[in-house]
Structure 1
């Protein structure tokens, strides 16, 4: 037992190194493992599998993803069952950051949620705003399938119902699936209803022929969807692999990591499923989108206030 532990320690120290750009060299020997709790809407697209395969080959670090709703993903971080988290619900992220569960937050990507439904659109919501569409669905009593799982998508959905001035709970047309994004889309398709979905998972399921649903409402500013990565705070959970988590964050925000995110989906779907956010926020290359992200996803005027950065200032230069 002693010799393998020494070997693993040496491998771990090889990866820790000094903070900066991740090493370009692949280390031989048994791979290190990094547990990342994430959302089903992100995992179902296949992006994380692609990243995981590349990361293992290049850095000899195996990324073990735990897919759940954002709330469950962050609770895994609280328990110390994950080393890093990839989620998409700023209000919930703020709660766990303020509690010191996670830190070193970086916004890495964005896209838009979409409201999808049958091609014949019985509720007549096509091209309406998001809140108008929610009101129309309620007025018509059309079937709506909610994830009902406290995921980032579910949190966004509840905020839209609130903005529309409607509490849908208890109505016969309001169905809670209690499942991830992929399964919720499948259930919605079977019921001929409507739902809120992230663009990435929808396009994958649509292109793969799993669902027939059509996008009826999109690119509304209220449908903005941002993805953030955070490290689990080692002061709360001393056993987490904090240094490996920081290296992973550094790679995700690097030019190489951002390119992989931005290129994903182009070949198969003809469009990127995710838009890189790091350079956009740094250079303000598209002021309209950048301001939307800042207004929606920044916390106290910053993607990560100084007191929550866990000393990782290199991430914010």
Structure 2
């Protein structure tokens, strides 16, 4: 282990380390390379590091509830608003959006390719008994999927283990499982665009307003979690919501396609 040879250097090192913050985040923002794009810009300006813990939204919220976070950045608005209403977060702000899509094999056993009607597509999958891979992990994507099934008047849990397969895994692992078994899957578009194992899969359902995917950012409440580094965490949030941060989000692309669309108020 390196040692500090001067008290001043030790003090500076301790100050810098104490300024680093933890962001509990949904996996899609990490898997799509968004943080690799954003954080070097922010950290060069701010002088402290942002450490991202990328998990499903439900787990991210639980981690933040347990005070293992300074900032929460996820995509399940009702759960985010409940987090704030319970006093766990100071306030919530819209940050950016993209959309969800349903992907499936070229064979398209449910005959839904080209549809913009998610409810009809899900009913067709259920009626055909076509395989569907669900994350089943309480993530933002899983929460959205369950909302969509409910709107379609279908309870897929009745077919759990039959045509409805719950992976209990992240988005990348679920897509790999779906492709391996020839199943449909719901995914956020950013993860799909950055996913490298598409095989013969394609987007089969898109363009439905119900597939809108909003991301929010929240400062964890220091009254509930005294460990929160309020100034540094708020500094990161303010930058994300600023013109500079919003422009940086808009500039993130894969293959010439924009992955997230800033919409901070």
Partner of 1:173: 163
Answering whether residue 85 of structure 2 is matched by residue 98 of structure 1, we say: yes
Within a 5 Å distance, the mapping from 1:198-209 to structure 2 comes to 198-205=188-195, 208-209=196-197
Alpha-carbon deviation of 1:58?
A: 2.3
Partner of 1:277: 263
- CA, structure 1 residues 91+63, in 2 after alignment: closer, same or farther (shift >3 Å)? same
Answering whether residue 39 of structure 2 is matched by residue 52 of structure 1, we say: yes
Answering whether residue 226 of structure 2 is matched by residue 243 of structure 1, we say: no
Alpha-carbon deviation of 1:189?
A: 1.1
Higher relative contact order (CA 8 A, sep 6+): 2
Indicate conservation of the 8 Å contact 1:31/1:56, yes or no: no
Runs of 4+ in 1 over 4 A off after TM superposition: 1-6
CA distance in 1, matches of 2:233, 2:131: 42
CA distance in 1, matches of 2:228, 2:46: 19
Alpha-carbon deviation of 1:91?
A: 1.2
Matched position secondary structure for 1:243: helix
Answering whether residue 140 of structure 2 is matched by residue 152 of structure 1, we say: yes
Alpha-carbon deviation of 1:92?
A: 0.8
- Among 4, 14, 36, which residue is 2:23 paired with? 36
Which TM-score applies when normalising by structure 2?
A: 0.91
Alpha-carbon deviation of 1:48?
A: 1.2
Matched position secondary structure for 2:141: helix
- Among 109, 112, 137, which residue is 1:125 paired with? 112
Q: What 5-or-longer segments of structure 1 have no aligned partner? A: 12-28, 283-317
Q: What 5-or-longer segments of structure 2 have no aligned partner? A: none
How many residue pairs align between the two structures?
257
CA distance in 2, matches of 1:53, 1:185: 29
Partner of 1:20: none
Matched position secondary structure for 1:169: helix
CA distance in 2, matches of 1:41, 1:276: 15
Partner of 1:61: 48
Within a 5 Å distance, the mapping from 1:7-46 to structure 2 comes to 7=12, 11=15, 32-46=19-33
